[in-house]
Each structure stands twice: as structure tokens, then as C-alpha cells.
Amino acid sequence: MKFRRIFYLNIARKFIAYFTTLFVELVLSISLFKFLNKNKAWTIDLILSQIFKANVITFFYVPIYLLLVSSQIHMDNCLIILKYTYVEDWWKEKIKILLKDTLIYLLSIYTIPLIVTVMLSSKYLKALSYKEFIFILEFLFIVLLLLVVYGTVYLIVLAIIKRAITAYIVGILVPFIDFVFIYIFKTVNFSGITLGMLINFLMSYNLSLKKHLFLFGIYLSYFLLFFTSLNIIMTYILKKIDIYRGDKKSEN
């Protein structure tokens, strides 16, 4: 009976996450078309600067995405954890689910506006160059890793302190770190820890393709190292805490 309630709760959270995302996409698409109609030249950097706004990612997509990640609540039940021989295997399974949900969510928040924009502008479709196509793929891949980092932070905090609200707040606050340095401390040259690096990568569009591919390799290595480090730290923490007993305590 309890697992049935958890199942329905997971479905409800996923529905709310995707429904809210579609609503945000509708609002952004309307504002995007109004903005582009005022500009005679539809360049790729102009369109991407509107679709991939940092404030949209911070204030809309990240909170919705973390709500989607929270649908993993069934994996934190002690009966599920006890099915695994090693607690590290339980964590790996959570990361696999995280990667799958992140990929689906990324496609839903960025593929829709890009397809609609291209369909409504045949001239722009013909003007899409090889460099622009590569840049879009690079940017989407970096956003994928960025969301995975936020989701991993949420899962780590939740596993340690077992308070979903606190984990959710911490996950939301992570992208704000770069905003604090850039806008409050006025560190214009600050590349950032997560979201700031994404902003700088978008601004690097005008570089040559060779330099841009090199920069992409650096950013890719950074976020992969960030993600790997988080998992190594969590694996070490799992050996120090009693995840089984903690889960039983939370149910009593």
C-alpha cells in the first residue's frame, strides 16, 4: 500500500514537472517570436541568446528539473536499498535513473523551441551552417552535464540529511553562486563554477571553429571531472554512514 502511494507521488511529480516545462516553453516561444520579429536578421547567436538565457535556466528550469529528480523517492526506501548487496550499487542505480531523466528533460526543454523556430523560418533553416550546428550540439551537451551536476548535488544532500526540502533548496542555490560573484561582487572576468561557465561558453560563439572545439573540450573535461568528483565523494561518504538504519529511522 505504501509503495502504491509512492508510485502515484512519483507520477504526480513527473507530470507537474513536464506540464510546467511545457507552459514555460509556450510563454518563452511567444516572447521569442515577438523579439525575433523586431529583428530583420535571424542569426544563430541571436536566437540562442534568447533561448538559453541564464536567468531562465536558473529561475525556471533548474527548480522544475529538481522536482523531476525528486520523483526518485521510491529509491530511498529501506526495502529498496536492502535489495542491493552493496550500497554503492544502489547509488549507481540512482545515477542511472538521473541520467535518463535528465536526457529526456533536456530534449523537452530545448528541442521543442528549436524545432518550432526552424519550422517557422525556412530562410533561417537554409542559413544554418556547419559551425552553428556543432555549436548547438556542444551547448546542449554542456547543459546536460550541468543539470546532471545539480541533480547529483540534490541526491547527495538528500541521502546524507534525508530532508527533501533542504536538498531541494541546496540544489536550487548552487546556480546562484555564480550570480553572486558576477552581479554582486562585480567579478566580470569570473568564469564561474557551473552556470557562469555556461554563460561564457555561449559568449564564445564568435571564436574560430578550431578554438571553439578546443574550448568545448576544456568545458567538457571540467564538468565530467566535477560529476566524477561528486560521485567519488559520495561513495566515500556511503562507507561512513549507516544508510540502512537512517532510512528505517525516517519511517518510524
pTM comes to: 0.82
Please enumerate in sequence order all residues whose Cβ is within 8 A of that of 193, keeping only pairs 6 or more positions apart, or say none: 174, 177, 178
Lowest mean pLDDT among 21-35, 120-134, 156-170: 120-134
**Per-residue pLDDT for 3 more than 60?**
no
Please report which confidence band the pLDDT of residue 195 belongs to, taking 50, 70 and 90 as the band edges: confident
Distance, CA of 96 to CA of 77 (rounded, Å): 17
Confidence of residue 46 (pLDDT cuts 50, 70, 90): low
Phi, psi of 176 (to 5 degrees): -70, -15
Helix 243-251 vs helix 87-106: crossing angle, to nearest 10: 70
| pLDDT tens, residue by residue, 129-153 | 777 778 878 888 888 999 999 999 9
In the structure, what pLDDT confidence band is assigned to residue 121 with cuts at 50, 70 and 90? low
Judge contact between 174 and 150, C-beta under 8 A.
yes
Binned at pLDDT 50, 70 and 90, residue 73 comes out as: confident
Which range of residues forms the domain containing residue 81? 2-251
Give the model's pLDDT for residue 151.
94
The structural domain count of the chain equals 1
- Please tell me the distance from the alpha carbon of residue 235 to that of residue 11, in angstroms, as a whole number: 29
pLDDT band with cut points at 50, 70 and 90 for residue 252 = very low
Closest CA to 153 of 234, 93, 78: 234
C-alpha distance across the termini of the chain, in Å: 16
* Alpha-carbon span 246 to 244, nearest angstrom: 5
